[in-house]
Structure 1
């Protein structure tokens, strides 16, 4: 399904991929609100909810961390805070120069806060975002911490 071996291995290890062709299955595209291709959804069948969306092509070094965020959002949506934090941290740590790293760091901190209820997790995350990703929208979102 994916020409890159690393991407294919990650997808097959973490997701159940399905490919839908816009011309062959337009109703399915409409059902999931896909307006552009490719559209990659992380879908939670238990809650029938979208957890993460990637629209448009991304090179491997941006696509993989986005997939990792999707895996984290899946765990987050199920209140699996330890798993979510682990998955988000992995994305930020493995791909620190990616556009996704700031988002992953943000959600790792939110996951830790949700797990513990300790606001210091948010303050620490805000500091990390301001230090490592000062120009990102995620640093702005964390500026209240």
Structure 2
């Protein structure tokens, strides 16, 4: 009898290797950029991807203030927020969010593409977004990720 072992590989937290990746948001459409970042955060670009383990890398997004929104999304796209109190729902446009905090557009977009559970909240801790080209993570020796 031929006994060939075809076991499925499952990564564990001790076998995963996390790297640091820089993604430049300058002149990138928001949706395309955030799907790329979410894929790297989740680890789906690695062969050892395991759905219930954090196998992704740490991502640094620079130049968040220069991200593009196509069409009239900059003035028409609405972001909804509710504090939990009755009647306290607020709507703000992408332009308002960009003026208040340029990093929030990318953070909200990436958060919506990650799982809505403990793993998703853990993955969001691996994302760092900066409005300009300067970041304080040079000690981690991040590598620049091209398109």
What is the TM-score with the length of structure 2 in the denominator? 0.26
Higher relative contact order (CA 8 A, sep 6+): 2
- Higher share of residues assigned helix: 1
From the CA coordinates, give the structure whose radius of gyration is larger.
2
- Higher share of residues assigned strand: 2
